[in-house]
């Protein structure tokens, strides 16, 4: 299709395209979003290791289906549906995972993705083509190509109120207390009021997390020697009282899911996180190590990034926190807000990010949805 050539809008029925849509927890502590029916096969996935990113894993038309453009229009209504559910955000990035042409013509396949709204970026580890786009761009591009009928278009929020926190000067920061306090059931940091975890580092481990493996000896890409006993610096704070050493430092191959509060194994390997570029040399164990240091008063150039990661997953607008509320309402209703049998993997993931759903947060989220 030439740049100056207009694509005729393709008419489809919304209900037909969205038939058999399923959103499920995955083994990484994220979500699998499956749209598999008699017409298309579309699979999206998310991971807490990559907040703000969605992988387009599968994107196919079923053999024998002749309708032109049915897959791209199915993707369009799918994005609108999960945007309305709060599973994704307009500013999130979608990446095409390992695009493989059925006919071997990669140039043709890339051209199709370009028409949909994807652009090709610099090669990345595990993604040599690096086809990516914001959700907002995909929706706007596909809107011009698809005419959806039946049930109307899902409402979506087009204006977002954003509060930008002003950078504090070093002089003012010194006046603020770095010691957290409990306010309204959550932790509050004077110098970072936008960061509101509900669990302390001790609570994360005391409740049962990481299958007992988090503080195991590791080989980090940042150091030539093996790292071990990194947790012992916090012993003087009493964090590990009542927690056996074996429930903190056991090898990864002895991960014990029974130690986890919700009985689910979630997360990925250290190598996966390192390959994705989400690790920082000062905290080679990852986000929880950063949180331990931040909690005890250290401040660094990595704080904004790590707080942003938390908020994208577990903050008031965090996709995992919002999705947990959605699942509770679908599977049990208001009275089941603390039913651990509903989305235990999602609850376990949120616990690893220092968050546990409270009745107050649950009610607040329901109220905010009614006001939209």
Q: What is the dihedral of CA 220, 356, 181, 280, to 10 degrees?
A: 20
Among residues 332, 330, 326, the alpha carbon closest in space to that of 362 is found at: 326
Domain encompassing residue 101: 10-149
Any domain includes 158: no
Mean pLDDT of 125-142: 85
Among 134, 149, 164, where does a domain finish?
149
Q: Judge whether 313 lies within some domain.
A: yes
In the chain, how many domains are there?
2
Indicate whether 292 and 188 sit together in one domain: yes
Residue 168 covered by a domain: no
Look at residue 36 and give its three-state secondary structure. strand
Residue 8: CB atoms within 10 Å: 9
Q: Which of 218, 280, 222, 228 is nearest to 252 (CA)?
A: 218
**Inter-residue contact 47 to 29 (CB < 8 Å):** yes
CA angle 204, 210, 213 (to 5 degrees): 115
Average pLDDT estimate for 312-320:
92
Tell whether 63 and 210 lie within a shared domain: no
* Residue 270 sits in the same domain as residue 352: yes
- Report the DSSP pairing between strands 146-149 and 10-13: parallel
Q: Residue 155's closest CA among 86, 92, 81, 87?
A: 81
pLDDT one-digit tens code per residue, 159-200 = 343 343 344 333 333 445 678 999 989 999 998 999 999 999
CB count in 10 Å sphere of residue 240: 18
Lowest mean pLDDT among 40-54, 184-198, 338-352: 40-54
Are the C-beta atoms of residues 358 and 364 closer than 8 Å to each other? no
Please report which helix (H) or strand (E) contains residue 182, including its range.
Answer: strand 181-183
**The domain that contains 39 carries what CATH number?**
3.40.630.30
Do residues 233 and 324 both lie within one domain?
yes
At residue 278 the predicted structure's pLDDT band, cuts being 50, 70 and 90, is confident
More confident position, 348 or 272:
348
Residue 139: the pLDDT is 95
In a domain, 166, yes or no: no
Token pair 């003087």 is at which residue? 236
Strands 146-149 and 40-45: unpaired
* 257 domain-assigned: yes
Residues 209 and 116 both lie in one domain: no
Q: How far apart are CA 87 and CA 23, in angstroms?
A: 9
Q: How far is CA 322 from CA 245, 313, 315, in A?
A: 34, 9, 9
User: Residue 98 — left, alpha, or beta (φ > 0 → left; ψ -120 to 50 → alpha)?
Assistant: left
């Amino acid at each position: 299709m030439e740049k100056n050539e207009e694509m005729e809008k393709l008419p489809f029925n919304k209900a037909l395209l969205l038939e058999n849509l399923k959103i499920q927890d995955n083994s990484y502590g994220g979500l699998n979003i499956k749209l598999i029916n008699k017409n298309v096969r579309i699979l999206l996935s998310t991971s807490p290791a990559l907040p703000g990113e969605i992988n387009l894993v599968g994107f196919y038309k079923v053999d024998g289906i002749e309708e032109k453009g049915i897959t791209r229009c199915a993707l369009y209504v799918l994005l609108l549906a999960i945007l309305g559910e709060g599973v994704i955000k307009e500013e999130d990035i979608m990446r095409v995972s390992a695009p493989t042409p059925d006919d071997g013509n990669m140039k043709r396949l890339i051209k199709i993705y370009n028409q949909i709204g994807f652009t090709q970026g610099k090669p990345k580890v595990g993604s040599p083509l690096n086809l990516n786009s914001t959700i907002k761009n995909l929706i706007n591009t596909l809107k011009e190509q698809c005419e959806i009928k039946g049930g109307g278009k899902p409402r979506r929020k087009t204006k977002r109120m954003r509060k930008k926190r002003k950078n504090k000067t070093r002089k003012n920061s010194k006046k603020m207390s770095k010691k957290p306090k409990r306010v309204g059931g959550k932790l509050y940091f004077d110098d970072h009021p936008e960061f509101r975890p509900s669990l302390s580092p001790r609570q994360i481990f005391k409740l049962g997390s990481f299958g007992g493996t988090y503080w195991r000896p590791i080989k980090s890409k940042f150091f030539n020697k093996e790292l071990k006993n990194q947790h012992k610096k916090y012993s003087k704070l009493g964090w590990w009282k009542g927690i056996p050493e074996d429930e903190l430092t056991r090898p990864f191959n002895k991960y014990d899911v029974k130690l986890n509060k919700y009985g689910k194994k979630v997360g990925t390997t250290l190598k996966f996180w390192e390959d994705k570029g989400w690790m920082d040399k000062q905290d080679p164990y990852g986000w929880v190590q950063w949180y331990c240091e931040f909690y005890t008063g250290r401040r660094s150039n990595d704080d904004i990034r790590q707080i942003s990661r938390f908020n994208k997953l577990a903050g008031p607008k965090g996709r995992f926190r919002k999705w947990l509320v959605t699942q509770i309402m679908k599977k049990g209703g208001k009275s089941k807000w603390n039913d651990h049998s509903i989305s235990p993997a999602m609850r376990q993931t949120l616990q690893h990010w220092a968050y546990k759903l409270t009745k107050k947060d649950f009610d607040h989220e329901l109220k905010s949805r009614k006001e939209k």
